[in-house]
With several copies, the nearest count.
Chain A
Amino acid sequence: MISVRVRYFAGHRDIVGQAEQQMALEPGATVGDLWGLLVERHPRLAGYSGRLLFAVNQEFASPATTLHDGDEVAFIPPVSGGV
């Protein structure tokens, strides 16, 4: 198993109820696999599928990106910086 740190922001954090958590995954798991797992646990996240961005270690990533032990994964709900 590998361990990754997951960060939640804005609407995601409101749904998940925490700003970050450590999660254990099968080796070879992808960003998309992790998102699927989270949507199972928190069905209200499903509304974000298809309209979120992904980051691994603070760089943009895709659902196909493979995760490694120690990675920091962020699920980025639709951004709204500026005004």
Chain B
Amino acid sequence: MSDFRPFEITDRPLDPAPLVAYVQTPGDGAVVTFAGVARNHFGGRPTAFLSYEAYAEMAGPVLAQIAEEARARWPIGRVAVHHRVGRLAIGETAVLVVVAAPHRHEAFAAAAYVMDRIKEIAPIWKQEHWADGEAEWRE
């Protein structure tokens, strides 16, 4: 865990275990983990794979800023967010949001909020590669 960073953009497969270990402190009764995974269709059209690109130097700090927003709104503990970039096969995890809190309702609310904000402002882009060979950026 020596190189663990709570907010990270990476081209390596994501593993929730180190994020959960990082966020959980003895005062926490709840840890909520959200995994966003590549699914095999969008709006009924079959997807072959996804690729993600990020403005990495900015995206990491934006993820940390979103976590601070959540901490200002709810009595929660630590937050960690890892987002993957590059090519993802169906079923691979694109993003992990992990929130610890003394109580579960705040952990759920904060995790959902962090994910909503990522989709609003984090400089990360998804390209859908359809099964028929076409590709397009989701905008």
From B58, B94, B104, B118, give the contact of A55 (CB < 8 A): B58
From A7, A60, A74, A83, give the contact of B126 (CB < 8 A): A83
B36 touches A83 (CB 8 A): yes
From B39, B61, B95, B104, give the contact of A81 (CB < 8 A): B95
Name the interface size band of chain B: 20 to 34
B70 interface hit (Cβ, 8 Å)? no
B79 interface hit (Cβ, 8 Å)? no
B125 touches A77 (CB 8 A): yes
Closest-by-CB residue of B relative to A52 is B139
Task: Report the separation of the CA atoms of residues A11 and B128 in the bound assembly, to the nearest whole angstrom.
Answer: 12
From B37, B104, B139, give the contact of A78 (CB < 8 A): B139
Tell me the chain A residues, 21-79 only, with Cβ under 8 Å from chain B. Answer: 53, 55, 58-60, 74, 76-79
* A82 contact set on B, CB distance < 8 A: 36, 94-95, 104, 115, 118-119, 124, 126
Extra contacts, 17 of them, besides A80-B124, A80-B137, A81-B59 (Cβ < 8 A), are A58-B57, A58-B58, A60-B121, A78-B138, A78-B139, A79-B119, A79-B121, A79-B125, A80-B125, A81-B118, A81-B119, A81-B122, A81-B125, A82-B95, A83-B29, A83-B37, A83-B95
B124 touches A79 (CB 8 A): yes
Tell me the chain B residues, 35-63 only, with Cβ under 8 Å from chain A. Answer: 36-39, 50, 52-55, 57-59, 61
Task: Report the separation of the CA atoms of residues A62 and B37 in the bound assembly, to the nearest whole angstrom.
Answer: 33
Closest-by-CB residue of B relative to A83 is B36
Interface of B is mostly: mixed
A76 touches B36 (CB 8 A): no
B residues bordering A, Cβ < 8 Å?
Answer: 29-30, 36-39, 50, 52-55, 57-59, 61, 83, 94-95, 104, 115, 118-127, 137-139
B55 touches A76 (CB 8 A): yes
Please name 27 pairs of A and B residues whose Cβ atoms are closer than 8 Å in the assembled complex, sorted by A. Answer: A7-B55, A9-B55, A10-B53, A10-B125, A10-B139, A11-B125, A11-B139, A53-B121, A53-B123, A55-B123, A58-B58, A60-B121, A74-B58, A74-B123, A76-B55, A76-B123, A77-B137, A78-B138, A79-B120, A79-B121, A80-B124, A80-B138, A81-B125, A82-B36, A82-B126, A83-B50, A83-B104
